[in-house]
Copies of this chain bind each other. A is one copy, B any other.
């Protein structure tokens, strides 16, 4: 039994709790229960702060249901111990109360959708393994899109917080931003990874990252900052920038390219910065593309961009790239 496996082998309530916490941490690629604890603290702070506690409790429900689904389906347990069953579910749990009205059917749908992400992930990863990439948070994106779209055709679900479908229009003016507020925008970009709009939450997330990896924390910060710079330079919607809506996908792209799938170094740093720029373009493009459906992009801009930057399998050092998994130990186990 190797070191990581041993570290993950807690038993009993503590063991299960850690698995849940790691599930929260894995949203930003961190197999670390403490990181997850700070993430959950951030979610609760932000959700209660903005008067939508359902978001926090939805996150808890989604995390638990998806993790339990992994056990029920009897999936390989080392994936579960690393929290890889739960990270899509916790995002589903944040998204449903954010976009749908707080009804019984919303909670039932949230439960079903969280579970669904687990086997959608299993299926997508089987397909993507041929191309040596991973499905990331796309099971969350695809499953949530399904339910959010369906909500418009089902009176039992209340799509009240979704934006109204419109045909895309030009942006008639550049956005205006208060420069002195830049730190707030920047931290909100980090907090929006979990659909939370709060600079305090963003700080808690960065602290959580610090506990697992200084590189990840650094690049989350760079990702959000550079996204603001690019989005402002190209004069996208000031509202979106101010509320971190150009930052969250960039944060994930940054962590993935600069610290997870490539080792930190000047080549991977340049690659990640290029990835952040393209993520901002993708975010704008997908916002427009989904206008006629009144649908949010969720983390799709991160997924699409990071796939585009991983698929060529460029070698930045002596190691041969295989991006189908981000856990070193799992790579060995699954080989």
Chain B: minimal CB distance from A307 (Å): 7
**Residues of chain B with a CB closer than 8 A to A116's CB:** 278, 308
CB interface residues, A 164-216, toward B, < 8 Å: 165-175
A308 to B121, CA, bound (A): 9
Interface core residue of A124, A146, A147, A157 (most chain B CB under 10 Å): A146
The answer to whether the Cβ of A48 comes within 8 Å of any Cβ in the partner chain is: no
Given known A-B contacts A127-B311, A147-B285, A293-B292, A153 and B166 have beta carbons under 8 A apart? no
**Residues of chain B with a CB closer than 8 A to A307's CB:** 123
**What sequence of 0s and 1s flags, for each residue 267-280 of chain A, a beta carbon within 8 Å of any chain B beta carbon?**
00000000001100
Interface size on A, residues (CB 8 A): 62
Asked whether A288 lies within 8 Å of B153 as measured between CB atoms, the reply is yes
CB interface residues, A 273-328, toward B, < 8 Å: 277-278, 281-282, 284-289, 292-294, 307-314
Which residue of B has the minimal Cβ distance to A121? B312
Asked whether B233 lies within 8 Å of A150 as measured between CB atoms, the reply is no
The answer to whether the Cβ of A149 comes within 8 Å of any Cβ in the partner chain is: yes
Asked whether B153 lies within 8 Å of A236 as measured between CB atoms, the reply is yes
Which listed residue, B112, B127, B236, touches A277 by the CB 8 Å rule?
A: B112
Which A residues have a C-beta under 8 Å from some C-beta of B?
Answer: 73, 105, 112, 116, 119-120, 122-124, 126-127, 130-131, 145-147, 149-150, 152-157, 159, 165-175, 233-237, 277-278, 281-282, 284-289, 292-294, 307-314
Chain B: minimal CB distance from A55 (Å): 22
A124 to B310, CA, bound (A): 11
Asked whether B122 lies within 8 Å of A311 as measured between CB atoms, the reply is yes
Which listed residue, B152, B153, B168, touches A293 by the CB 8 Å rule?
A: B168
Chain B: minimal CB distance from A175 (Å): 8
A310 to B123, CA, bound (A): 8
A287 to B131, CA, bound (A): 31
**Residues of chain B with a CB closer than 8 A to A145's CB:** 285
A172 to B73, CA, bound (A): 38
Asked whether B284 lies within 8 Å of A150 as measured between CB atoms, the reply is yes
Given known A-B contacts A131-B127, A292-B293, A237 and B153 have beta carbons under 8 A apart? yes
Asked whether A146 lies within 8 Å of B312 as measured between CB atoms, the reply is no
Extra inter-chain contacts (15) besides given A149-B168, A150-B282, A156-B234, CB under 8 Å:
A105-B234, A116-B278, A122-B311, A122-B312, A123-B308, A123-B310, A127-B131, A146-B282, A153-B285, A154-B284, A155-B174, A155-B175, A165-B169, A168-B293, A292-B292
Asked whether A171 lies within 8 Å of B155 as measured between CB atoms, the reply is yes
**Residues of chain B with a CB closer than 8 A to A281's CB:** 146-147, 150
A165 to B277, CA, bound (A): 26
